[in-house]
């Protein structure tokens, strides 16, 4: 079942350690088949070097395990809620990557200090609040997803224009049109988190990049009038 999607999700998971986004098993990637309303996710606690495509677990959007030898990632409920609430998302990544998680532990969003950030994320990458004791005890992973989706809705943030968030004292969630794009965004988050931290070290009084510059860089790559890249496939 969903063999191609399993392969893609497996390959995206294997790139997490390659890009230095995970230590041990501290991360996961999923991808969804919207037509079948099924998603594929990494199994819980299996070392990356031991993973195979067939180890990926197939889940339904109502939370049932459809196929797989192993238990799904402990973050499965967060992924499931985000797929339900963000209908244009095709892949999700969760990491505890060091620089971005440092911002999360500080309870701060990542400000847009330059064009690298603006190329991928419109305005600040937000940091959502802690869950309260009741939310944690009731359904921690599910309520993490609910909190992220509610905060984006409440603050009028476009989840496609800013395909990521930090969770206070926890880590990073990113998403995209598929698992590979979500992985790409996770890599960029770690880089902009590192650059933003260093920027504040060098100039503690720094302010965000001018909005006109942020807009120029974001919209030349995204939206109806984007012009970055090629209009036809480049021949190899």
**Rounded Cα–Cα distance for residues 42 and 34 (Å):** 18
Q: Is 10 a catalytic residue?
A: no
**Rounded Cα–Cα distance for residues 182 and 88 (Å):** 12
CA-CA distances (angstroms) from residue 218 to 46, 207, 211, 212, 221?
37, 18, 10, 10, 6
Buried b (16+ CB within 10 A) or exposed e, 56-78: bbbbeeeeeeeebeeebbebbbb
Q: Is 119 a catalytic residue?
A: yes
Q: Which is the catalytic residue, given 132, 158, 215, 228?
A: 228
Query: For 184, what's the count of Cα atoms within 13 Å in the CB-facing half-sphere?
Result: 10
**Rounded Cα–Cα distance for residues 98 and 104 (Å):** 10
CB 27 within 8 A of CB 15: no
- DSSP H helices, the chain, are 3-18, 76-85, 98-106, 115-120, 133-154, 179-202, 211-219
Q: Which is the catalytic residue, given 48, 55, 119, 140?
A: 119
Report the catalytic residues.
119, 228
């Amino acid at each position: 079942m969903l063999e191609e999607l399993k392969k893609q999700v497996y390959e995206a998971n294997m790139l997490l350690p390659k890009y230095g986004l995970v230590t041990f098993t501290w991360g996961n990637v999923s991808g969804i088949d919207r037509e079948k309303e099924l998603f594929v996710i990494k199994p819980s606690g299996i070392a990356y070097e031991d993973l195979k495509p067939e180890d990926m677990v197939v889940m339904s959007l109502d939370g049932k395990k459809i196929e797989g030898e192993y238990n799904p990632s402990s973050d499965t409920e967060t992924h499931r809620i985000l797929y339900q609430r963000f209908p244009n998302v095709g892949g999700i990544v969760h990491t505890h990557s060091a620089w971005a998680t440092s911002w999360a532990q500080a309870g701060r969003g990542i400000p847009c200090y330059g064009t690298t950030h603006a190329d991928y994320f419109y305005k600040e990458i937000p940091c959502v609040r802690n869950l309260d004791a009741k939310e944690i005890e009731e359904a921690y992973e599910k309520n993490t997803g609910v909190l992220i989706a509610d905060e984006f809705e409440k603050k009028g943030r476009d989840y496609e224009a800013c395909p990521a968030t930090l969770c206070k004292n926890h880590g990073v969630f990113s998403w995209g049109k598929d698992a590979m794009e979500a992985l790409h965004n996770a890599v960029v988050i770690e880089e902009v988190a590192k650059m933003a931290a260093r920027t504040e070290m060098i100039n503690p009084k720094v302010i965000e990049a001018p909005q006109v510059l942020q807009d120029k860089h974001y919209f030349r790559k995204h939206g109806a009038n984007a012009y970055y890249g090629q209009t036809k496939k480049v021949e190899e």
